[in-house]
Amino acid sequence: VGQIFQINPAKKSVPAKVRYVDRIWKERAKSPRIGSRESRRAATSFYEVQISCARQRITEGTADLDRSGFTLDGNVSAIKNFRDDGEISRVYHEEMKSLVCRVVGAHSAYVLNHLVRTETPTDFNDGYARFVHCDYNMRTLDKLAGDVLGRHGVEVKGNWHFAFYNTWQPFDNPVRNNP
């Protein structure tokens, strides 16, 4: 946790098989509802792709939050048990709020929710997603922002800018599969 592995500088990308939502959904007004293995298989397909080495791109200065939509941070969490929701709320949420403020220069940050995905899920949503996806869509962002800010007694001002950030922390396996 929190360590950045050494990479082969000659290797700029690696081949991977990635599951994407099927192209037919681009023309549809609604998004696919994926809540089971069966619905995931019915709405997605595997594609052979080349995955760019993010660490190399960040080192070279060709990838960052503004240009690529992601960054990597060597965060080392003080959390002892990522399966303990109370500890996650007390420790990890505070760490992530501090990290987001530091990385993006925000004045404040609030946690919408968290989800712990494992190799031994209790239901479909607790398992690794195993397909490229976005948890929220543009239609729900204003409502989600209102919910989370309202929970914290924050009244949005007209000149404010805010963004949603997804933080991700491996805790029981090195990141090689199921990122």
**Tens-digit pLDDT profile for residues 57-101:** 778 888 888 888 888 887 889 999 998 999 999 999 999 999 999
Query: What's the pLDDT at 11?
Result: 65
Question: For 46, phi and psi rounded to 5 degrees?
Answer: -85, 145
Q: Where exactly are the structural domains of the chain?
A: 13-151
Cα separation, 162 vs 140, in Å, equals 14
Contacts of 9 (CB under 8 A, 6+ apart): 56
145: tokens are 């922002």
Query: What's the pLDDT at 67?
Result: 83
**Tens-digit pLDDT profile for residues 118-167:** 888 888 878 777 777 777 777 788 888 889 999 999 988 888 877 888 88
Cα separation, 28 vs 66, in Å, equals 30
**Tens-digit pLDDT profile for residues 104-127:** 999 999 999 998 888 888 888 787
Query: What's the pLDDT at 24?
Result: 92
**Tens-digit pLDDT profile for residues 5-46:** 444 556 678 888 888 889 999 889 888 888 888 998 999 999
Query: What's the pLDDT at 2?
Result: 41
Q: Would you say 128 and 178 are in contact if contact means Cβ atoms under 8 Å apart? A: yes
Query: What's the pLDDT at 176?
Result: 64
pLDDT at 3 over 50: no
- The pTM (predicted TM-score) of the whole model is 0.76
